[in-house]
Structure 1
Amino acid sequence: MRRLLSCLLPLALLLNSCTMGYDSFQTASIPKTRFKDTKPQDFGRDHPERHPIHGIDISKWQGDIDWQSVKGSGIAFVFIKATEGKDRVDDRFNEYWREANTAGIPYAPYHFYYFCSTADDQADWFIHNVPKNAMMLPPVLDVEWNAESKTCRTRPDPQTVRIEIKRFMDRLEAYYGKRPIIYTSVDFHRDNLAGYFKDYHFWVRSVAKHPTVTYADRPWAFWQYTSTGLIPGIKGPTDINVFAGSEQNWHDWVAVVEKKGNS
């Protein structure tokens, strides 16, 4: 129990740091964004550029990556697709996390959850394919409805969803020593997660409006604000995200979570 409480402390500190109002910033104009976007969205006064820490999430579809260019552009973190369901591994996962590590970019793997196999089968698959040294930041559980899947369009009831993903996350936390981050979309969150998992970090997708609009009453740690960003060193569109806290919050949090599971 003492260890569990110590794991939750960085979360409490982070969420407290994210409650500052945007009134503390200049609001006369939206600053020029540091990254180009083929389909930019005007978020008004709550523009993601107000957040100093930006990162990306990638999979094999990003192809060859010039990691030094990515690092030089100001990208501070990368979430890398590792596994999907109980039998798929991203072809470039091992390459990407090793190269991110060499470039000095904090990284973490993510798992795309399928509701057509059990939480234990998927946890076993993730653990089998993701070594502990590929886990600098906490692991990410990607949960969303996948209406276009050719193999799994199952939509369990909300209670079943919560039981399954909790089991999966418990397995990962026990093995890696880091509490997982939950990535989700607006509709999946509304259907299954609103009001639950308050002691987990959330990474939310919201590409048209600010998360305070689309995820009411949900504190968030990461915000995916576009899927059409252009990052130096990567060909084609890339998801871009921001961290909720300040630059100092970021460095403090990374120092804490990097140490967990490595001692």
Structure 2
Amino acid sequence: MAGIRKRWIIYGWIAVFLFTIGFSQKESSAFSTYSEAEKAGKENSFRYEEGERKKVSSTKKAVTSENVTIIDVSHHQGKIDWLQVKDAGIEAVIIRCGYGQDTDENGDYTQDDAYFKYNVSECERLGISYGIYLYSYAKDTTAAQREADHVVRLIKEVRQQEGVLSFFTYPIFYDMEDRSLESLKASTFSANATAFVNRMKKSGYDNIGFYSNKDWFEKRLTGTIFSLYPKWVAQYNSQCTYEGKYRLWQYTDQALVNGIDGAVDANQKYGSWEANLQVSQVTLNKKSAVITVGSSITVKATISPSGVINPYVAWKSSSTAVASVNSAGKITGKKPGTATITAVSHNGKKASISITVKPKSNRITSLKKSGSNSIKISWSKVSGVTGYQIYMSTKKDSGYKRIRTTSSSVSSYTKSGLKKGRRYYFKVRSYKKAGSKYIYSNYSAVKYLTR
């Protein structure tokens, strides 16, 4: 018995050991989100190759206050003479704070940009407005959250270094461009962006934006989250052809600025940027509308006050089966019924429009004499309706009375008791019962027959 008890004790300790190892492995795997690209720490994208800047634009352009007001910088520009930069007429700068997660896979702070704190300090000293950006390698939401932690830590450290950050008036941009992320689905990009935003907001920061090139915004960064915050679009061209809304356009990587050794990215802004100015009201140009299945209207949302950093809304439908809405506020009727379409700002301000979707009109397909005093009326069916109403008159333009209401399964009705030699006019319409409300289509074209 003693030997058996000893064996059971040994088995018990083995089980505990194996459970502990398994638990540790699960804990470890939950945080093993470092890609090989991040471990290497070398950017690869449309503008980088193995951590080195590629020449994408074809011509270099000297900067004056008339042609460039905003630049973006990182360790690639080395130590910058910011007084000369200011004297060159630069209005603002977007500064890279680092790349990837808060620590490397060994738990060390090696992923901070080497010149971030120096660049912030000089902008504060000289009164140059700035924002910051983080270069992302996140392939999942865990990594995205830890990238947000990276930004939060660095902002905290520069606050400790500088005190009040008086000129930190531009957004915190999440830079999603690395080639290692190309295989991700659009839904994954959206999930990662949402995780980053929520983590930042939890720490008190909602002045957030997204950076990428035109192609990625069109094909990968397409979720609702990207329409809620300012977009910074890179397209090295004579004009930006991105059709969505954006606030910054990076149009060259070959600008020449006094105080910076070598070329630098130049950007054009749209609208004003005021720190801490938030949306106070959202208004729509319509409060209600009636549309037909298959037709569309576009509703315009106006943000107050003007000049907010995030002047965007997300559109939502209470019933996408009845009415859908896209990111531009275009509402399309899907089936008969009612829906509420709501525009929501990034800080939760809302405005709504009530939409009634009418059934499509049907048509009278035939009128035929039946028996000695009847006419058979046949009509086309309409999907998604409750039934049909048939109207008759002896005059073309007035005097119509409803002679029958049928279910949606019926497509003909024979009207009896008619007088020989008299002309009779007919029209039909479909209807949908939505709760206690009846929604009617337009009438069909009038048709007649002499009995």
TM superposition score normalised by structure 2: 0.41
Q: Match for residue 9 of structure 1? A: none
Map 1:96-175 onto structure 2 (within 5 A).
96-116=119-139, 118-131=143-156, 135-144=168-177, 146-147=178-179, 152-153=180-181, 155-175=183-203
- Give the whole-Å Cα distance in 2 for the aligned partners of 1:52 and 1:173: 35
Alpha carbons of structure 1 residues 235 and 123: separation in structure 2 relative to 1, 3 Å: same
- Give the whole-Å Cα distance in 2 for the aligned partners of 1:195 and 1:158: 7
Q: Match for residue 249 of structure 2? A: 223
CA deviation after TM superposition for structure 1 residue 194, in Å: 3.6
Greater relative contact order structure (CA < 8 Å, 6+ sep): 1
Which structure features the higher share of helix residues? 1
Q: Match for residue 366 of structure 2? A: none
196-205 or 102-111, which deviates more = 196-205
Q: Is the CA contact 2:247–2:269 (under 8 Å) kept in the aligned structure 1?
A: yes
Alpha carbons of structure 1 residues 65 and 77: separation in structure 2 relative to 1, 3 Å: same
Q: Is the CA contact 2:139–2:192 (under 8 Å) kept in the aligned structure 1?
A: no
Runs of 4+ with >6 A deviation: none
Matching residue within 229, 240, 248 for 2:266: 240
- Give the whole-Å Cα distance in 2 for the aligned partners of 1:168 and 1:114: 12
Q: Match for residue 31 of structure 1? A: none
Q: Match for residue 201 of structure 1? A: 230
Q: Is the CA contact 1:38–1:229 (under 8 Å) kept in the aligned structure 2?
A: no
Q: Determine if the alignment matches structure 1 residue 71 to structure 2 residue 89.
A: no
Q: Rg bigger for which structure?
A: 2
Q: Match for residue 364 of structure 2? A: none
CA deviation after TM superposition for structure 1 residue 185, in Å: 0.7
Alpha carbons of structure 1 residues 95 and 170: separation in structure 2 relative to 1, 3 Å: same
- Give the whole-Å Cα distance in 1 for the aligned partners of 2:252 and 2:169: 24
- Give the whole-Å Cα distance in 2 for the aligned partners of 1:202 and 1:183: 6
CA deviation after TM superposition for structure 1 residue 67, in Å: 0.9
Cα-to-partner distance string for 1:52-95 (whole Å, 9 max, x where unaligned): 77211000111121111111111111100002111311011001
Q: Is the CA contact 1:141–1:169 (under 8 Å) kept in the aligned structure 2?
A: no
Q: How many residues matched?
A: 203
Q: Is the CA contact 1:205–1:223 (under 8 Å) kept in the aligned structure 2?
A: yes
Q: Match for residue 220 of structure 2? A: 192
Helix, strand or coil: the match of 2:277?
A: helix
Alpha carbons of structure 1 residues 40 and 65: separation in structure 2 relative to 1, 3 Å: closer
Alpha carbons of structure 1 residues 64 and 114: separation in structure 2 relative to 1, 3 Å: same
Taking only aligned residues, the RMSD between alpha carbons, in angstroms, comes to: 2.9
For 2:193, give the aligned amino acid.
I
- Give the whole-Å Cα distance in 1 for the aligned partners of 2:172 and 2:229: 12
Percent identity over the alignment is 26
- Give the whole-Å Cα distance in 2 for the aligned partners of 1:165 and 1:64: 31
Q: Is the CA contact 1:63–1:235 (under 8 Å) kept in the aligned structure 2?
A: yes
Matching residue within 76, 80, 87 for 1:61: 76
Matching residue within 274, 277, 281 for 1:256: 277
CA deviation after TM superposition for structure 1 residue 121, in Å: 1.7
TM superposition score normalised by structure 1: 0.68
Q: Determine if the alignment matches structure 1 residue 179 to structure 2 residue 202.
A: no
Map 1:10-29 onto structure 2 (within 5 A).
none
Helix, strand or coil: the match of 1:219?
A: coil
Q: Is the CA contact 1:116–1:154 (under 8 Å) kept in the aligned structure 2?
A: no
Which structure features the higher share of strand residues? 2
Helix, strand or coil: the match of 1:79?
A: strand
Mark the runs of 5 or more structure 2 residues left unpaired by the alignment: 1-56, 104-110, 279-307, 310-451
Q: Is the CA contact 1:115–1:155 (under 8 Å) kept in the aligned structure 2?
A: no
